[in-house]
Amino acid sequence: MTARIDAAWLSDRDRRLFDCFGHRMDVAGLVRWSNPDIARLRDGNHAAVAPDEALIPDQLLQLFDAQRADGARRRCVDIYGEVGDADNLCEEMGLARETDARLFLVTIDREGVARPRPDDGAGRNSPRVEPIAARDWVASVTAARQGEVAPWEREVLMTEAVIPEARFYGIRIGDTPVTCVARYDWGDGSQITSLFTDPDFRKTGFGRACLSRAVFESPSPIVYGTIASDNVGMLAVNSRLGGEVHVRDVRRRYVARW
């Protein structure tokens, strides 16, 4: 794998996904995304600081004013790269890390993934992985979260589902998708953004089967994603497919309520 996979690499590709959620603009030198229609979703109204990019208090103050004007419920800033001055400034301005878990940047080499078998579920008699429609992906995500999806968040999921670069795979039990994975193809890298399994069907091999097919059918030789350090199951699935961890604290999200 010849590409340099690091925090700056991820920052550049994340911006392509964020462009699908909101309008990219500049606020006092900060790159910011704004979509008042989904302002309650942090990806619809936040800023991103690339590695080695300077950050000063006045930039954050102007950002917060703009976020509040758009109806955002929280202040939100993403910091990429090593922990440093930008992280310290966010904390000084009253923001806190959204989670203590570190975010790992991982990649899977498509060429190292075996061709999925026709019976590519957990076993020979398991349901098959197949492409699924956007609405079925939303239904699968909702089921995996045991129905805990607010109406406005469902609209956000549909916004994400109709992005032209999106591809979805799933396993059905009857007419209901119980496992699904989303892949976004950006040309020089395919991004896995979600892998959901209904709680009643975990530890079946369904998740690995879905991810394996999504990787194998990627148009890019590099398939990447981010995994929280406390997501032991997903890290294990990634490892079984030959995944490699490149950065162990690639991005931190700082948030605070008004």
**Residues 40 and 122 placed together within one structural domain of the fold:** no
**Residues 231 and 119 placed together within one structural domain of the fold:** yes
Domain range for residue 196? 114-241
In a domain, 51, yes or no: yes
Domain count, the chain: 2
In a domain, 16, yes or no: yes
**Residues 134 and 235 placed together within one structural domain of the fold:** yes
**Residues 66 and 135 placed together within one structural domain of the fold:** no
In a domain, 2, yes or no: no
Nearest to 45 by CA among 76, 13, 90, 91: 76
**Residues 86 and 153 placed together within one structural domain of the fold:** no
**Residues 56 and 87 placed together within one structural domain of the fold:** yes
**Residues 124 and 208 placed together within one structural domain of the fold:** yes
**Residues 84 and 136 placed together within one structural domain of the fold:** no
pLDDT in tens, the chain (258 residues): 456 899 999 999 999 888 888 899 999 999 999 887 776 677 678 999 999 899 999 999 999 999 999 888 889 999 999 999 999 999 999 999 999 999 999 999 999 888 876 555 555 456 789 999 988 888 888 777 776 777 767 777 877 788 889 999 999 888 888 889 999 998 888 999 888 888 888 888 898 999 999 999 999 999 999 999 999 988 998 999 999 999 999 999 999 998
**Residues 206 and 125 placed together within one structural domain of the fold:** yes
In a domain, 25, yes or no: yes
The CATH number linked to 193 is 3.40.630.30
